[in-house]
Chains A and B, each alone.
Chain A
Amino acid sequence: MEKRRAAVTGIGVVSPLGNSASELYRALVENRSGIRAMTEWHDEFGRDIAGAPVKLDPAVVKQISRKVRRTMGNTALFAGLAAQEAVAQSGLDPAVFTSGRVGCIIGSTVGSPSSMTEACVAEYEGRRNDLSACHFFRIMSHSASFNVADMFGINGPQLSTNSACASGLQALGAALELIQLGKVDAVLAGGADESTPLVSSSFQLLYALAEEESPEPERLSRPFDAARTGLVCGEGAGILVVEEMEHARKRGARILFEIAGYATNCSGWHVSHSDELQIANCMRNALADAGVTPGEVDYVSAHATGTKVGDAAEAAACRAVFGSEVPVSSLKGHLGHTLGASGSLELAAVYGMMRDGIVLPTRNLEQVEDCAGILLPREIREQKVRICVKNSIAFGGVNASLVCRSAD
């Protein structure tokens, strides 16, 4: 039996480079950076480390009803705002959401680290009774997913793919599979995460953070570069409307691109060390799922965060699967690492590349040493992007790869 196909009909973004998919893409094309010195974290770190924060307009936030907003930490809030944009673009009839045939799958590393910290401080200070009845709902691992489902009245499957930095891509993969299985007609899917001192310090502890104070913080996130020293934490959300292809066509929806294949796996041996063999296997499995050969791939949107070990492993995996002819780039030089949001958020930019026939380069990539042997563009490259692979790699040894096909 032929597999049901999944189309993307809406994309929404909250990011360090703007709170819409178009703002993000424009900023990336202009080679702007969302990274700055986090002066507001100076007391926690004893210096101004780099970060890539989101800036929200309180008036826009307040447009979400209080009864939904009260259980939202920033992670869920980012997801909710991104979902609004995606749904608006899709043109889906609101009545569809309550049909039981629409799902909501949103993942994050933690429900809301800022809310978790607030609860811990209240506990430590003996103020447990001061916590709101809504507080735990902000911390719960599936907070973004159920809050977004409530925003739209979605009453189909609600799942949360909490696999740290692979959360967003796993959510899209799960959406594809639910559609293929015929269990839903559409899914709001993606990832979201917020950055706090607790999150950045978790990477700092592992020597995985670009933690030096720099007069040029926007140059600290350097995926694939010889001088990379670690990642810069970002935050945001990328939410997509993933819709069964015929369902989308019948209602005359604009198909932005197709999610054609997906795979996820894990290394099974180390929680933080990237495994190039399993990353390569994951990409190969996703290609097989899509019925695509490595030679047909036009672009790989890498996970590459700027860590020494992680980037080298992913570069080696890309070299093993694609050789040296397929362009590979990471958007984390511009955006920092938006964690569980990164996979789905960066796909918003990948869509722009497919539409405009360009490949965006990796910002701050100047000198390649240990990541050599793959094609790493240093400037915007004009070329057709019909088929692309998007990778996410996460703590826990988790890998996820999505194969996307342009709508042309």
Chain B
Amino acid sequence: MALTLVLAAGGFGAGAFGALLGLGGGVLIVPMLALGFGLPLREAVGVSLLSVIATSSASAATYLRRGTANLRLGLTLEILTVIGALVGGLVAFALDERLIAAAFSLMLVYVALSMARQRTAPATPPAPDEAVVEPDPDVTGDDQVETDGLAASLSHPDYEVRNLPLGLALSGLAGMVSALLGVGGGIIKVPTMHLAMGLPLRAATATSNLTIGVTASASAALYILRDSIDPLVAAPVLVGTFLGATAAARLAPRVPVAVLRWVFVLVLLFVAFQMITRAVGPGAVA
């Protein structure tokens, strides 16, 4: 019974964390299950994928109702993400994982520094029932705004989408990295939408939450088909994840953007460290 409750508590933390940051919580669940409970890595990844979907499903409804998640933009980026995941899955065995992990970790450090250098909006949390998207003053540069065509159709009443081709390319990369390294695409998609495409951070995390479930569902289906999911471990984790993600989605408007930004920077650096370890560590796979 104690183990069941510990797994549920871990799921709660990962769900809350994932829903707030648009990451899905896989960066916490995989180490927790593999290192903390000795679960084989493949089974840990399988449970993590289900947890990502649960986080996405439990939080995205709230973000959609509030108008924070951009459904149209999320779907557009998702086409490239799913295709990227397919390509990543196909080339996964032909590439040196250590090289990919090293390159990825360098990119994460660069993204973390870019996010850390950004000016932050005043940390005044809006009332829960207020409009949800809090524009960041640093992402509304008029010089780069695309106002016509597809980008305009994907924009939101509170912000404009810019650099759509770059956003699409990076979404494809997010899918590839997700398949190659077993990390959620949100770790790339949130910075892409926020830094490159001009979405406020809240809108980027909410839109990422909406789409990461779709990305994870294809992989999760395969894990189920291959009997690589332990239902007795997955169940308590999922219960905790549902509860944590639901609570975090309701709490999200009260969390200042500056706090979200700095937590995200720390997570990026943590994942970069994990990737460096994977690249140079004794367990690295050639």
Does A pair with B? no
Chain A contacts to B: CB under 8 angstroms = none
Chain B contacts to A: CB under 8 angstroms = none
